[in-house]
Amino acid sequence: METQEKTKQKRSVRIREQKNALKAHKEQNAGKLGEVKSSLNNIPTSPRKMRLVADMVRGVQVDKALNILKFSTKAASKTLEKLLLSAIANWQQANEDVKLEEANLYIKQISVNEGRMLKRLRPAPQGRGYRVRKRSNHVTILLDSASAS
């Protein structure tokens, strides 16, 4: 009987220590919990046009951002919507124990950088050629939960 009580006591102590360690870990990483990043490279649109769409959803809740992107007439909004859905899936995979509705996700940071530029020649008068620069961009989205649980 005494050995069973000791094992129960040891198990309860172990469980309590695990809970305390988890609580300390959450307090230590309070700002970092729930933060997830998703990026897409070499998107064949101009960075200037992509920034117009990115500015509409920066700092907005995820569900509102999806509605904004879904009903936007810009061509870049479809690409940004797919990237946002990918970031949400990444967050769900990293935080399986938290429901998406309770997390209160928002777009913490979104950056649009220039990608590589393809240079082409367009025929011009008198045997000349005008240079056409076909631009691309890199987009990075950082999601975070407003209520870090």
Domains and CATH numbers, the chain: 48-149 (3.90.470.10)
Residue 129 Cα distances to 22, 119, 120, 121, 133, angstroms: 65, 12, 9, 6, 13
pLDDT digits (tens, 9 = 90+) for 97-109: 888 888 889 999 9
Tokens of 114: 């220039």
pTM (2 d.p.): 0.74
Range name among 30-39, 110-119, 137-146 with the lowest pLDDT average: 30-39
Average pLDDT over residues 8-16: 75
Distance CA 39, CA 110 (A): 10
Average pLDDT, the chain: 87
Q: Per residue in 56-105, pLDDT tens? A: 999 999 999 999 999 999 999 999 999 999 999 999 988 888 888 888 89
